[in-house]
Structure 1
Amino acid sequence: MISIGSRYDSDTYFIETCDALAAMNVDRDTFAHEHALMLLKPDAAVTAAMGSAITWLLDHGYRIVGAYPVQLTYLHLRALWYFNWHRATAERRRVADRLAGLSPSLVLVVGHPDGEQPVSVRLTADKGPADPAQRQPHHLRHALAAGTYLLNKVHTPDDPDDVLREMSIYFPDPQLSAVISACVQGADATADAARIVDGIESGLDRRSGDLAAAQDAVWQGLGGVGGWDRPRTGEEWLAALADAEKRGIDVDPWFRIVIESSYLPMHRQGSDGI
């Protein structure tokens, strides 16, 4: 095992990627500086935004050197956000777990010709914040019309250390070594990304991420069988969904997620948020 000297020097995921790089005689710092990861989540797939994200990357000078479908599980989520997930509410964790199961996700490995700053730092700034109120028109999340704090469609590791750590969360050996090898070779993987997107999105019914559209769709199912008046507040919508679940009334999983992610608390009281 190589000497680490990182803020993650006792993190198993980070160490596994460093060991894989060392075994291949690939300089760790150079690799981490020159590459970033982008996770296109199921909310991007359901709303048919994956292809738009790829187009945005190419239009902004990024180069795709790896594309891989990944079926997220609750273990992926807890590993990716291990250092912050304790700030999330139990409700947020449950909604995020259900979201992860809606479809496969897509992991892209990208580079950028400007070497002045790490690609991960550039991409994180270009991506924009999770909070919709803080996004600007030039941000990727703004371009994708990413909806709620949770349904933000994309995730990227913030810095080079995070890139190395997240690689072994997504890719166990020997796949990890194969991914690294492909990155080092630098072949253009744009066509692979497009093919994977087509495979994921073609198996899904395209849905809107708009809250009003979700409420209308859910009410079409609940209005005739639930015995409720149409909810008017977030609290009433959450109560109607909980009552429907108790009665065994089916609610479209995606529209339920849209409503719950709009009204449920995302951060534990007293936390700074993530």
Structure 2
Amino acid sequence: MLDAYMHRLHVDEAWRTLTAQREKFDYFLADTHFRESWQLAVDVLGADAGWLMQRIALLTVRPEGILGRKARDCVQALAELDFEPVYAYRFRYDRLMIRELWRYQWNVASLDRLAVGERIHYRSDALCLVLLDTGLPLRIPASSRLSRHKGSASPADRGPEHLRSRLGAPNRILVVVHCPDEPMDVVRELGVIFDPEALRGVYTRLAERVAAGLRADPEPVISELYAEFPARDLSVDAALRTVLAALADTARGGGGPGAAAARAGEAVRSAQHGRPLDWQRWCGELRDAGLDPDSWAPTLVASQLVEHDVPGARCLLGRTGRALWQAGQGRMLDRPAVRAAG
């Protein structure tokens, strides 16, 4: 069933202005976050909605990026790539937001990955940047171009030129930054982060700032975040040394805590050789050894050593769509010709 706004995207395949993937549109037809956000975008921006969504990208500096003091380096790297902030907003992840943002990708995530990821997401506020792509001509959407520069969540699948590599993202849980892949994902993600009243204001301000050529300075927000949340080291190797040293000290003491510490240390060493760390069991062993599993160093260790994905599982929506845009499967819009998208 299509409401009027979805029907307009369906006619003549106008959805191709927001995604090059028919499968994604089919999923998003029934996605509440996308539907609400797109209705607001059309109501506020009118015929410019699709045009603007192709020219903006979102980047979130996640809590580990705030704690690791990566936000300023990130803004500088974005400027070098011709992405300029037009809106900066701090927000706090909660349990439902985490699951909704990655609904179509985290169907493959192990429960251990979810549990450890939550502990990272709750450490601080995050910084959301709405970015204007100033690199012209625009051949693919801004979000697709930024997704290419972002790089894979897996360190083995990205190069030193990628943003996540430049920012020192150590593994698939500690990825430092997040970016949606296509304009349709941008619309949906804004609908997840903001309630409808706030989002109406965001769309209004974006239109005004883009039209007037205004840019946002994220530095005041970054300074606030750094003042509120103490810096943390993102080195997994350093965390491993800290945890193993603490466990070894406790193990030498013997007794119940010492035996638990020995088991916890052996679980880490086994995981380093390829057997994933069992998060729940390891938490119990750490507690029995007198260590807090929710403290920073054990969380970093677990982010590296737990099983990340359910073996053999596939993401509901695993492709970025960038290759399809480059092959002309999406429809880029000139400003005077946006009526088909709205």
1:263 alignment partner in structure 2: 305
1:253 alignment partner in structure 2: 295
TM-score, normalization by structure 1: 0.91
1:92 alignment partner in structure 2: 113
Query: Are residue 16 (structure 1) and residue 36 (structure 2) matched?
Result: yes
Structure 2 unaligned regions, length at least 5: 16-24, 251-256, 319-342
Query: Are residue 153 (structure 1) and residue 176 (structure 2) matched?
Result: yes
* Residues 148, 261 of structure 1: 8 Å contact kept: yes
Q: What is the one-letter code of the residue matched to 1:23?
A: D
- The CA deviation at 1:252 is 5.8
Quote the RMSD (CA, aligned, Å): 2.1
Structure 1 unaligned regions, length at least 5: none
Matches within 5 A, 1:2-13: 2=5, 3-5=8-10, 6=15, 7=25, 8-13=28-33
| Aligned equivalent of 1:32, options 50, 53, 62 | 53
| Aligned equivalent of 1:131, options 145, 151, 154 | 154
2:220 alignment partner in structure 1: 195
CA deviation map 1:188-224 (0-9, x unaligned): 11x2x11111111222332221122112233454443
Query: Are residue 82 (structure 1) and residue 82 (structure 2) matched?
Result: no
Comparing 146-155 with 23-32, greater Cα deviation is found at: 23-32
Structure 1 runs of 4+ aligned residues shifted over 4 Å read 229-232, 236-241
1:209 alignment partner in structure 2: 234
* Residues 45, 203 of structure 2: 8 Å contact kept: no
2:254 alignment partner in structure 1: none
In the alignment of these two chains, the number of paired residues is: 272
CA deviation map 1:127-181 (0-9, x unaligned): 0010101111211001001101110111111111111111110111211011111
Larger Rg belongs to: 2
2:194 alignment partner in structure 1: 171
TM-score, normalization by structure 2: 0.74
| Aligned equivalent of 2:76, options 55, 58, 63 | 55
CA distance in 1, matches of 2:294, 2:187: 37
2:269 alignment partner in structure 1: 233
- The CA deviation at 1:22 is 2.0
- The CA deviation at 1:270 is 0.7
CA deviation map 1:252-273 (0-9, x unaligned): 6222221001110000011246
What SS class does the counterpart of residue 106 from structure 1 fall into? strand
CA distance in 1, matches of 2:293, 2:102: 29
Q: What is the one-letter code of the residue matched to 2:308?
A: M
CA distance in 2, matches of 1:243, 1:21: 50
